[in-house]
Amino acid sequence: MSWGIELWDQFENVSKFTDKSIQFCERYESFVKDRCTIEEDYAKALKKLTKSYQPKRKEDEEFYGKYSFTIAFINTLKELQDLASQHELISENLKERVIKQIQTTVKECREQRKKCLDEYTKIKRQLDKQHELMTKALKKYDEAHDSARRAKDGYEKAHEDLDLSRAQLEKARDAMTIKSKLCDESKTNYSTNVQAFNEVQRIFYERQLPSVLNDLQETDHKRSNELKDCYFKFIQSNLEVLPRVEKCLEEMHKQTQLINSIQDCNIVIDDYKSGYLIPDDQKEIDLNDNESTFTTLVNNSNQNHNNNNITEQQLYNINLNNSTSLDSANGLGRSNTLRSTGSDHSQNGQTLYVGSAGGQVNGILNSNNTQILVQPTKGTGKKGTANTIRKIFGGGSYNTQRKPNGSSYGQIPATTPYGTLPPAQRVKKFQEHINSCKVDLDKKQKAREGLLKMRAVFMENPKFGPEQEVNGQLVTIEEQIEKLIAEIKRFESYMQELERSRLSDADSRLRANYGSDLSIGQTSINSNPGTPAQNRSTMYSRPNYVASAAYKNFNHRLSSSAANNLIKSTMNNRRWSTIG
């Protein structure tokens, strides 16, 4: 189909379309340029990103080179560097292949379109000029026709008017004749102009305009084909780098498959295992067992907690007039609860609980089992006072590396190498040092064997060298070997001492825990009727004692708020059980 035939009357729309199509090419050129900029910026940002996440310090390099997930990440960064290079290659190909071609196409299409529009303007001007001549002739013909018609009407009126003279009648007839002749001449001129216009118009629509439209169509065909080729080159520029990109992604996938969580966990254990035993269970303190003053209690606790300065204001102004002392400071240091019947804030032998797991003071229960919060004095925050009580009565959070009370595991002289490290880490360092010494020892022994052979050769053939020189080297090597053997034995003795200490602590803990369970049961059996201990005897009967022990261990694992609610609920149940 041809634009010259089908679109003979739509030249303005065709002209707009060709202009928009060329503008689209320019817009596509801008798109490709922006795409190149994005690829370049992305490549720069990707390289900057990988550089910023590369380990910079020695500690970071050790961490990133140790675990499987960090090694996979480092390899991923390397592959991302290669990916960034591929994006730079895409940008270069687009600039070289697409942008230059589209610029050339736009330039040629604009020039061709301008020629077509100029040709159209020329032939359209000729048609318009001929149309203007025809319009002027028509206007003259119309004026002459009106004048002739008026002259004829005047003559007819004069012929009917009997009052006019013969001369006047002749004058009117002459005017009518002249006007009619002028009208005929104007008509002839108009007819000539119409024929000329029709000829120009026929040439315009049959030959000139179709030629211009067909030229525009050819220009648009060329533009479309060039744009199509640019599209293909755009795609090809991306396809060419896909194999390399796929290879990078495959390498990332391969490195990701090498991540081994079990291996990483074992490395963490090997790096951070301390070797300490877990802390002993906390002992319950009953202040009704023996009479003592609160000052004695504070002094004992101060001695057990590195001589901390603790005042009564830091203890919520609780006066324990009839408080009891402890059998040992170590028992006080591991207490969970404080029971007092003589306190100003206690009612009927109720209990003040100090949570050991969450490290918060729970308060006092009155006779109605309602929790009464003890108010701190001015200048002492709730958290600070709770910490003070934990310092005295043994509550508070534990350090995860805390050694058990009385533990000797890992306690070796301060002059021992790596003395600041936990036992397990010391064992690790000792073993590494022993292995290093053994490697050096093996080298020295091989060197000694070589020197012995050399000395034997020198003894047989003195001309090869002096025997005394070899003897001096042998003495030096022997001294170095003796030092290495002594070093190995020294570190092996350190390891043996740590192992003996660990076994001794484990055995002591087992005996201590067994004896603690027996003493709790015996205390509840021997309590007199009517005493607070006897009132709680049902709690320490065999079934209830097992449940209480499980409850206590569970309470250590709760948060402070959860421990408060659990203790309050348990005390309510015990109270109603006692009343019943």
SS3 for 464-496, per residue? Answer: HCCHHHHHHHHHHHHHHHHHHHHHHHHHHHHHH
* pTM beyond cutoff 0.75: no
One domain for residues 395 and 427? no
Among residues 479, 496, 513, which one ends one of the domains? 496
Helix (H), strand (E) at residue 408: none
Q: Is 487 a domain residue?
A: yes
Q: Is 417 a domain residue?
A: no
One domain for residues 135 and 167? yes
Q: What is the pLDDT of residues 458-493, one digit of tens each?
A: 888 877 777 778 888 888 989 999 999 999 998 888
SS3 label, residue 2: coil
One domain for residues 247 and 99? yes
Amino acid at 473: Q
Q: What is the model's pLDDT at position 252?
A: 93
Q: Mean pLDDT across the stretch 494-501?
A: 82
On average, the pLDDT of the chain sits at 73
Helix segments in 240-372, DSSP class H: 242-257, 261-272, 294-304, 329-333
Q: Is the pLDDT of residue 125 over 90?
A: yes
Tokens of 339: 């029971």
Q: What is the pLDDT of residues 43-69, one digit of tens each?
A: 999 999 999 999 888 888 888 888 999
SS3 label, residue 133: helix
Q: What is the model's pLDDT at position 128?
A: 93
Q: What is the pLDDT of residues 23-34, one digit of tens each?
A: 999 999 999 999
Q: Is the pLDDT of residue 118 over 80?
A: yes
One domain for residues 289 and 383? yes
One domain for residues 135 and 239? yes
Q: Is the pLDDT of residue 247 over 70?
A: yes
Q: What is the pLDDT of residues 396-406, one digit of tens each?
A: 444 444 444 44
The count of structural domains within the chain is: 3
One domain for residues 245 and 349? no
Q: What is the model's pLDDT at position 511?
A: 65
CA pair distance 531, 289, nearest whole angstrom: 11
Q: What is the model's pLDDT at position 274?
A: 80
Range of the domain at 355: 285-399+527-579
| 170-189 residues labelled b (16+ CB within 10 A) or e (exposed) | eebbebbeebbebbeebbeb
One domain for residues 440 and 308? no
CA pair distance 460, 452, nearest whole angstrom: 12
Q: Is 412 a domain residue?
A: no
Q: Is 170 a domain residue?
A: yes
535 or 427, greater pLDDT: 427
One domain for residues 292 and 385? yes
Contacts of 79 (CB under 8 A, 6+ apart): 248, 249, 251, 252
CA pair distance 418, 220, nearest whole angstrom: 84
Backbone angles phi, psi at 339, to 5 degrees: -105, 130
Confirm if 39 and 87 have CB atoms less than 8 A apart. Answer: yes
Q: Please name which of 181, 182, 176, 194 lies closest in space to residue 138, comparing C-alpha atoms.
A: 194
Amino acid at 438: K
One domain for residues 22 and 163? yes
Q: Please name which of 510, 11, 9 lies closest in space to residue 280, comparing C-alpha atoms.
A: 510
CA pair distance 566, 559, nearest whole angstrom: 10
Q: Is 411 a domain residue?
A: no
Q: What is the model's pLDDT at position 389?
A: 43
∠ CA 70-426-428, rounded to 5°: 50
526 or 269, greater pLDDT: 269
pLDDT band at 35 (very low <50, low <70, confident <90, very high): very high
Q: Mean pLDDT across the stretch 211-217?
A: 93
Q: Is the pLDDT of residue 191 over 70?
A: yes
Contacts of 207 (CB under 8 A, 6+ apart): none
DSSP 559: -
- Strand order across the beta sheet in which 285-286 lies: 285-286, 337-339, 351-354, 361-365, 371-372
Looking at the chain, the whole-number percentage of residues with pLDDT higher than 90 is 39
Q: Is 280 a domain residue?
A: no
411 or 455, greater pLDDT: 455
- Specify the CATH number for the domain of residue 99: 1.20.1270.60
Q: Is 518 a domain residue?
A: no
Q: Is 262 a domain residue?
A: no
One domain for residues 179 and 75? yes
One domain for residues 226 and 104? yes
Q: Mean pLDDT across the stretch 449-459?
A: 87
One domain for residues 292 and 435? no
